[in-house]
Amino acid sequence: QVINREYPMTQSIWSKLFTALRGGANEVGEAIADQQALRILDQEIRDADTALSNARRELVTIMAKHKLAADRVSEYDAKIKDLEAKAVAALNAGREDLALEVAEAISTLTNDLAAEKKLSDEFGAYADNMRKDISKAESRIKSLRQQVDMAKARDSVQKAQVSASIASGGANGKLETAVGTLNRLQAKQQQRAAELNAADELADASTGNDLERKLRDAGITPNEGSANAILERLKQKSAQ
């Protein structure tokens, strides 16, 4: 019974541990993906540039075909007008049979003209659409490149800030350590100075110098080495 009660708890612990490990693995994967994000974007921009270059070459080909088709349309149109004029001249000359042959040639050219004009229109519309698509792609690639450049700049600045923060934190830690060492050194020096002063006082007391100093300080015993005492001796010597 005890085992049966503990088993679900053990299973729950393992389940939570597995979930935590899986979450940690996801975080590591996301971190790696973030580190490669700019590199991936650079590659995507290069791929887009390559595709755009191919599209420009295809546009040039389509524009050339459109021009050729348009030129053929102009040629057919000119031939038809020329034949129409000749057919009218044949009718005026009473040569209806000849005018009919010219009309048959005009019919053939008219069909060719219609087919060529349809092809020319299709090439023209396709070229116009390609120019619009290429222009949009160029704008998008330019915008993406600018965003990537700004992201790189922000990434560099943030890395610099992190490095500066780490360095500053380390410097502050070292500075605090140095200040603590200085404070301890100053405390030791003050303690040593106090001990030396105390030793001097004890030495003066043991030799009687301390009492004489106190009497001189009180003005009871003249200090023959003082400036006033020397000045008095000089005055007495001068008077003599």
Give percent of the chain above pLDDT 90.
25
Over residues 53-60, the mean pLDDT reads: 91
- Residue 220 is inside which H or E element, if any? none
For 121-143, what is each residue's pLDDT tens digit? Answer: 999 999 999 999 989 888 888 88
The model's pTM is: 0.51
Give the tokens for residue 194.
């106090």
For residue 79, the model assigns a pLDDT of: 93
Residue 222 makes CB contacts below 8 A (sequence gap 6+) with 216, 229
Q: What is the pLDDT of residue 107?
A: 92
Q: Is 206 buried (19+), middle (13-18) or exposed (0-12) by CB count in 10 A?
A: exposed
27 vs 198, residue with greater confidence: 198
Share the mean pLDDT of the chain. Answer: 76
Q: Is 94 left (phi over 0), alpha (psi -120 to 50) or beta?
A: left
Block residue for tokens 């030495």: 203
Cα separation, 57 vs 91, in Å, equals: 51
**pLDDT band for position 119 (cuts 50, 70, 90):** very high
pLDDT in tens, 78-109: 999 999 999 999 889 888 888 899 999 999 99
CA 38 to chain centre: 9
Tokens of 12: 């729950």
Q: Note every long-range contact of 230-239, with CB atoms under 8 Å and residues 24 or more positions apart, other chains counting.
A: none
| Per-residue model confidence as pLDDT tens digits over 21-55 | 555 555 555 556 666 777 778 888 888 888 888 99
Give the single-character DSSP code of 221.
S
- Does 156 score more than 90 pLDDT? no
Token pair 């560099």 in the structure block, residue: 156
Tokens of 228: 């006033």
The structure tokens listed for 218 are 């009180």
Question: Cβ distance 55 to 130 under 8 Å?
Answer: yes
Mean pLDDT of 182-196: 78
Sign of the torsion formed by the C-alpha atoms of 44, 50, 56 and 58: negative
